[in-house]
Amino acid sequence: AARRLRELLDEGGCVSMPGVHDALSAKLIARSGRFECAFMSGYGVAASRLGDPDVGLATLGDMVDAGKSVCRAAGDMPVVGDGDTGFGGVANVRRTVFEYHAAGFAAVSIEDQVFPKRCAYGKGMRVVPRRDAVARLAAALSARDEIRAKGGDILVIGRTDSRMATNPEIEDNFKEAILRCFEFKQLGADAVWMEGPRSGAEMEAFNVAMEGTRTILAQVERPGVEMLSPGRCAELGYDVALYGLTLLSASAAAVERAARVMGRGDHP
């Protein structure tokens, strides 16, 4: 799965990566024949599996168990797993990479929020100091290299949420995000991901700074925010356009509409 994902990313252009939240959504996306990879989000697992918000309640066990079903249902389609913060210290980060590889994921993303984490768009979101973020990713990359040395393979994606963080000690959030992703790049991350760029100019500047490394743009539907097409993302320099919550939101909306009709005594 990791090899297929790497080959896909090396083809050029910008890959459209929908987020899936359970085995059924993964199977439907794979069966559509319109997508070559998918992403299993922590937000999606917390919502679909626990019925809870994304505030760090989904454990490593929850994510791995959901991931096994998702990867099995996806068949030959590579799936990227949301590794959140690695679920603890550096030893937990290493374990997360090993467990995600065993579950069948092609890649795992590791972010720099404080633990327990929350949705990046939640109020008061904070990140760990840069040195801790670098140590966290270094642990993930060490686990990746061990897996490769034993004949396996998995990609590691370095993600920073510092652009949107409320840490008082961060004077320039965009600069901090660039510095963190640059260090992730220098460490050998297979791809980097800056959450929450504020403008096209920031997106372009980010990709210039990350030249030579695969980059991901994650987008979440919100009032007043334009969703960029994969084509536009490619123009801005991205390799992956991630739509992490689109399918979950569409599913929830469909259930609510059908329930309203059934609640009136009719059939949808």
Interaxial angle between packed helices 173-187 and 200-209, expressed in degrees from 0 to 180 and rounded to the nearest 10: 30
CATH of domain 1-263: 3.20.20.60
Residue-level pLDDT, tens digit, the chain, 268 residues: 999 999 999 998 999 999 999 999 999 999 999 999 999 999 999 999 999 999 999 999 999 999 999 999 999 999 999 999 999 999 999 999 999 999 999 999 999 999 888 888 888 999 999 999 999 999 999 999 999 999 999 999 999 999 999 999 999 999 999 999 999 999 999 999 999 999 999 999 999 999 999 999 999 999 988 999 999 999 999 999 999 999 999 999 999 999 999 999 999 9
Tokens of 2: 């990791």
pTM to 2 decimal places: 0.96
Q: Please, what is the Cα angle at 56 between 225 and 170, to 5 degrees?
A: 60
Q: Say which DSSP state 171 is in.
A: S
DSSP secondary structure string, 229-263?
Answer: PHHHHHHHT-SEEEE-SHHHHHHHHHHHHHHHHHH
If we measure between CA atoms, which residue out of 233, 193, 5 comes closest to residue 109? 193
Q: Please, what is the Cα angle at 84 between 229 and 40, to 5 degrees?
A: 50
Distance CA 181, CA 52 (A): 30
For residue 119, the model assigns a pLDDT of 87
pLDDT in tens, 90-116: 999 999 999 999 999 999 999 999 988
